[in-house]
């Protein structure tokens, strides 16, 4: 018996990758680091702008890596254990994380800024032109 998904309609062609992405997102349950996503008004009023803010207290700029891989924004953080210090109590652990955000077509990263333990990543999506293309039909006798 085959599984019915929202993308199993014969009218939705080429959405296999999106279905796999949604399944992967449903499986990811890690909530560290916490983050906000906010919509910002574009300067021209037409461009959609977003800001992702992650709480990365304790991470230096050199500990963080922000990349785009295909249609994903990937934020990685790596802290190393300080073995030279002797802790009487250790409540703040050196952690690693990887947080992925799936980007819609046309989204691009404008800038990333680390300030006061918050990593802000600005994105925009310029309004694309509507492209209508006439497809010629060939007739074979």
CATH number at residue 45: 2.60.40.790
Q: 17 lies in a domain?
A: no
In a domain, 131, yes or no: no
Residue 134 lies in a domain: no
Q: Residues 95, 79: contact at Cβ < 8 Å?
A: yes
Whether pLDDT at 21 is above 70: no
Taking the whole predicted model, whether its pTM rises above 0.75 is answered as: no
| 132 domain residue, yes or no | no
The owner of tokens 């955000």 is 101
Residue 67: pLDDT band by 50, 70, 90 thresholds?
very high
Q: Report in angstroms the alpha-carbon separations of 20 from 4, 7, 68, 72, 140.
A: 14, 10, 18, 13, 39
- What is the number of domains present in the chain? 1
- CB-based contact 63:76 (threshold 8 Å): no
Question: What is residue 119's predicted lDDT score, i.e. its pLDDT?
Answer: 97
Q: pLDDT per residue over 73-131, tens digit each?
A: 999 999 887 778 888 998 887 889 999 998 988 889 999 999 999 999 999 987 777 78
Residue 6 lies in a domain: no
pLDDT band at 61 (very low <50, low <70, confident <90, very high): very high
23 in any annotated domain: no
The residue segments making up the domain with residue 36 are 30-81+94-125
Question: Which pLDDT belongs to residue 127?
Answer: 75
Residue 140 lies in a domain: no
pLDDT value of residue 7: 66
Alpha-carbon distance 48 to 43, whole Å? 9
């Amino acid at each position: 018996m085959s599984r019915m998904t929202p993308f199993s309609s014969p009218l939705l062609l080429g959405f296999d990758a999106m279905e796999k992405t949604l399944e992967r997102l449903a499986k990811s349950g890690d909530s560290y680091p916490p983050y906000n996503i906010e919509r910002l008004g574009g300067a021209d009023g037409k461009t959609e702008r977003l800001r992702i803010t992650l709480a990365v207290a304790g991470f230096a700029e050199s500990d963080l890596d922000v990349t785009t891989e295909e249609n994903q924004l990937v934020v990685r953080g790596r802290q190393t254990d300080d073995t030279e210090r002797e802790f009487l109590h250790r409540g703040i652990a050196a952690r690693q994380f990887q947080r992925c955000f799936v980007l819609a077509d046309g989204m691009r990263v404008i800038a990333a800024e680390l300030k006061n333990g918050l990593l802000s990543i600005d994105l925009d999506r310029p309004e694309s032109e509507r492209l209508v293309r006439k497809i010629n039909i060939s007739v074979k006798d």
